[in-house]
């Protein structure tokens, strides 16, 4: 079956390297992930995952580097934006946990990847369980009993 080029397939040829600044790499990561989620083409999804992996691998060793002087101005604002909040629905969060447990059960991963996914799974489970067990009201709601 031939792969039909889509709007997202142009991302497969976007050039980037270790010299690409981290803001551009982060933007590419966003585009790769978004397009991968929206695509129905398995070949395109795999190619976008590979590109996402490559961009993340370039970003990882630079996370503690100082912001280059030519980028400093874009990180200054009169009012700081609110920090993004990770709040998937309980159903989606449970689905994420289930998917990670299934991937980890396969045991075909390199040890480092397995360890990272296990850490992610633990963090997601703690977040999920904490939200499920968190208080929801200041007083008991009227339940009609």
pLDDT tens-digit readout, 22-47:
999 999 999 999 999 898 888 998 99
Q: How confident is the model at residue 54 (pLDDT cuts 50, 70, 90)?
A: very high
Q: Are 20 and 56 members of one domain?
A: yes
* Structural domains counted in the chain: 2
Whether residues 57 and 96 fall in one domain: no
Question: CA 109, CA 26: separation in Å to the nearest integer?
Answer: 25
Asked whether residue 19 is domain-assigned, the answer is yes
In this structure, is the dihedral angle defined by the CA atoms of residues 142, 88, 130 and 96, taken in order, positive or negative?
positive
Q: Are residues 58 and 94 in the same domain?
A: no
Evaluate whether residue 24 is within a structural domain. yes
Is 128 part of any domain?
A: yes
Q: Is residue 124 part of a domain?
A: yes
- Residues 49 and 15 both lie in one domain: yes
Q: Are residues 58 and 92 in the same domain?
A: no
Does residue 29 belong to any structural domain of this protein? yes
User: What is the structure's pLDDT at 128?
Assistant: 86
| Cα–Cα distance for residue pair 145/130, rounded to 1 Å | 28
- pTM given for the model: 0.75
Domain with 96 in it: 87-134
Q: Which alpha helices (H) appear in the chain, and where do they start and end?
A: 22-38, 42-59, 90-105, 111-133
* Residue 73 in domain: no
Model confidence over 81-138: pLDDT tens digits? Answer: 888 788 899 899 999 999 999 999 988 899 999 999 999 999 999 988 888 777 766 7
What pLDDT score does 60 carry? 93
Output the pLDDT for position 129.
83
The answer to whether position 94 is within a domain reads yes
**Residue 114 belongs to some domain of the structure:** yes
What is the CB-side half-sphere exposure of residue 27 using CA atoms within 13 A?
A: 8
The confidence score (pLDDT) of residue 15 equals 94
d(CA 136, CA 17): 47
Say whether pLDDT at 6 is over 60.
Answer: no
Q: Residue 19 pLDDT more than 60?
A: yes
User: Which one is predicted more confidently, 80 or 16?
Assistant: 16
Asked whether residue 14 falls in the same domain as residue 49, the answer is yes
């Amino acid at each position: 079956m031939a792969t039909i080029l889509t709007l997202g397939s142009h991302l497969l040829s976007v050039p980037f390297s270790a010299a690409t600044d981290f803001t551009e790499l982060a933007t590419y990561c966003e585009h790769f992930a978004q397009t991968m989620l929206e695509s129905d083409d398995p070949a395109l999804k795999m190619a976008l995952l590979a590109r996402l992996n490559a961009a993340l691998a370039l970003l990882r060793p630079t996370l503690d580097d100082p912001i280059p002087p030519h980028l400093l101005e874009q990180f200054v604002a009169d009012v700081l934006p609110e920090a993004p909040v990770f709040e998937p629905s309980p159903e989606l969060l449970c689905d994420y946990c289930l998917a990670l447990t299934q991937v980890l059960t396969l045991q075909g991963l390199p040890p480092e990847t397995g360890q990272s996914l296990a850490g992610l799974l633990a963090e997601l489970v703690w977040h999920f369980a904490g939200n499920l067990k968190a208080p929801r009201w200041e007083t008991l709601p009227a339940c009609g009993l």
